[in-house]
Structure 1
Amino acid sequence: MASLARAPRTARAPRTTRAPRAGRLRRALLAALVTAAVAVPVAGAAGPGEVPAPEPAAAVPSTATGPPTPTARLDALYAHQRTALRAAARTADAYGAHGRAASLRTMAGPGRSFLAFDGRDGGRAVEVVGDLARAERIAVLVPGADTGLDHYDRFRAGAVALQDALRRTPGPPAAVLAWLGYRPPATASTASLTPGRADQASPRLRSFVEEIRRIRPAARITLLCHSYGSVVCARAAAGTTADAIVLYGSPGTGSDDVAALRTRAAVWAGRSSGDWVADVPHVRVPLLPGTELGFGADPVDPAFGARRFAAGDGGHSDYLAPGSVPLRNLARIVAGQEPADA
């Protein structure tokens, strides 16, 4: 999503006329952003969704499912996904998408653990950082716009930083799951301004949490939802068995308040003072039937009803920066502890 300045207010305007005028200006600015997004040219010979990949096997081969321990079963699954990653890398190389192929080979490297991988349609992947078989605190990272296989290392870096922070947080073992379970929109696209991708992703996220709950039934599961990912989490909130949902760097959720999420999970929200998303108008404009532009209420507004946490002064992509205020507080929330004030 792109930065959008707030509509200016005229100090001498009467209170009774200022709000409607501000509303019209914000809608006009939002419409201008849509126009700009449509006009942005697509760079490169092939978009991420155009790089071919083999269809993944439906399941781990039966010869690999026999080991009795959870660790052995997960290890067999991880090995199966490494094979799928290498096959996708060979296909990408043959197609001429050498950058994608290099990224996939890195993902298939020693010590990497993937619960799922599908290289088609832009790519889907779920990576485990930590020991899922023993984890009693599990964080599921739900990414926002521009996250994909070609620059996957940036997404994983946040998962690694969070796992390191969790190791330093008192409590039982933890694991971080980097959930690239949908095709995030591009920042400079109309898809980043509408809930369509989130509506497609939310059932998958809800089902994924159920699968993790079956693997670790007593674990504390927290959804950490960044930027457009907060729209995905909001759509998945109703009925989820996650214990907590954290919205950070959020442009809105498409819901007016926490009650509208219809979730039993504790809902947290935070935004750093240097995050440009604060300037996105919190409006929802109806378009075609069943579609709207914008995501409405600001989750860090007290009226939204979320529990707020200190998120420092970094930028939109800095919430999981090593040593940062938001990273420490996100780790504390995952651990079931109260975040610090600063």
Structure 2
Amino acid sequence: MASRPRRRLRRSLLAALVTASVAVPVSGAARPSAVPAPAPVALGPVNVAPGALAARYAAQREGIRAAERAAAGHGDRRRAAALSAMAGADRRFLAFDGRDGGRAAEVFGDLSHADRIAVLVPGSDTGLDRYERFRAGAQELGRQLGDRGAVVAWLGYRTPATFSAAALTPGSASHAAPALRSFVAELAAAAPATRIAVLCHSYGSVVCARAASGLRASDIVLYGSPGAGFDNVRDLRTRATVWAGRGSGDWIADVPHVRLDLHFTTIGFGTDPVSDRFGARRFDAGACGHSGYLRAGSVSLRNIADIVTATARTGERHA
């Protein structure tokens, strides 16, 4: 039974959900002024042959530099500095678009020879200006996977702000899902013998659940999730194995697992993904907090890597 303070917190958060539902139709899409960036160069489908990848990485690097110049000309030093780092000679991007908050797909590891690929899908408050934390997790997972694994940090949608009405509704996820499904299909076509796992953090869980039907992945991993927007894994209509984990130090556990269907929107994401009712395979995420699932040396990192490498096949995985 939940403690009295936790029950009070749940009631307060539920009240916040209802309050946000009123704000959704009147708040619109208020956003800070956009930082200008040129349109990306059309490069065609991904080809994982070494020469083709090298050429693609070089072309994306030039696109990032062009976006850096545009940001500097606009007077946005923070964005320009972030883009300058992304344009480094050791960085490898399959895709980049500096417009509308930014889109990117960065590679860690040797995509040409990997037999396991993990695609990371971020949650709220992830963009070009706050990209490094997302990148750091991808790097750590890449180290954990070793030489035969590769990681793609997929920032393929405009993520909602954590403390916003948009983070309580599936609207951003519904827009992002087709792009994720298309990206994974492109990777699968380029490397048909390679096993692909899609790893979905926080609000990214909602994106992955929306994309799950037809997603060409062996595993879908939901971690730090507020809910997937579905009552049961069967509702995702996927052949992938669906996993769920939550660290004991993650505040997301106190978010009410409710879904309110209103005439203008849906608020909340329903069933807790780590509950028996949802039906996912659970893995042990240790004591990590909301942003610590891919931290070096963590239980959650080791167990997520085991899922990617197909060594966690027998139900709940522990340290």
CA distance in 2, matches of 1:308, 1:131: 29
How far does the alpha carbon of each residue in 1:30-87 deviate from its partner, in whole angstroms, 9 at most, with x for none?
Answer: 22466799999xxxxx83x611101112227xxxx9xx98100011000000000000
Equivalent positions of 1:1-342 (< 5 A) are 6-8=6-8, 27-32=14-19, 47=32, 50-59=34-43, 70-167=49-146, 173-289=148-264, 291-338=265-312, 340-342=317-319
Q: Over residues 233-272 of structure 1, what are the superposed CA-to-partner deviations in whole Å (9 max), with x where a residue is unaligned?
A: 0000001110000000000011000000000000000000
Q: Following the alignment from structure 2 to structure 1, what is the Cα–Cα distance between the partners of residues 272 and 165?
A: 20
8 Å contact from structure 1 (residues 254, 296) kept in 2: yes
- What is the SS of the residue equivalent to 2:220? strand
What is the CA deviation profile of residues 184-205 of structure 1, one whole-angstrom value per residue up to 9, with x for unaligned ones? 0001111100000000000000
What is the CA distance between 1:303 and its match in structure 2?
Answer: 1.2
* Corresponding residue pairs, total: 310
Contact 1:85–1:108 under 8 Å retained in 2:
yes
Q: Which has the larger radius of gyration?
A: 1
Is the Cα contact below 8 Å between 1:34 and 1:189 reproduced in 2?
no
TM-score by length of 2: 0.91
SS at match of 1:151: helix
What TM-score does the superposition give when structure 1 sets the normalisation length? 0.85
Structure-1 separation of matches of 2:317 and 2:272: 22
Aligned CA RMSD, in angstroms, stands at 2.6
Give the match's secondary structure for 1:127. Answer: strand
Q: Distance in 1 between matches of 2:261 and 2:69?
A: 44
Distance 1:285 1:276, change over 3 A: same
Compute the displacement of 1:288 (Å). 2.9
State the SS of the aligned residue for 1:202: helix
CA distance, structure 1, for counterparts of residue 13 and residue 144 of structure 2 = 39
| Conservation of the 8 A alpha-carbon contact between 1:155 and 1:178 | yes
| Identity score, percent | 58
Which stretch has the larger CA shift, 210-219 or 68-77?
A: 68-77
**Partners of 2:48 and 2:191 within 8 A in 1:** no
Pick closer, same or farther for the CA change 1:69–1:305 going to 2, 3 Å. Answer: closer
- Deviation of residue 152 (structure 1)? 1.0
1:318 alignment partner AA: G
Q: Give, in angstroms, the shift of residue 321 of structure 1.
A: 0.6
CA 260–184 in structure 1, closer or farther in 2 if over 3 Å, else same = same
Q: Unpaired segments of 5 or more residues in structure 1?
A: 10-21, 41-45
Shift of 1:341: 1.3
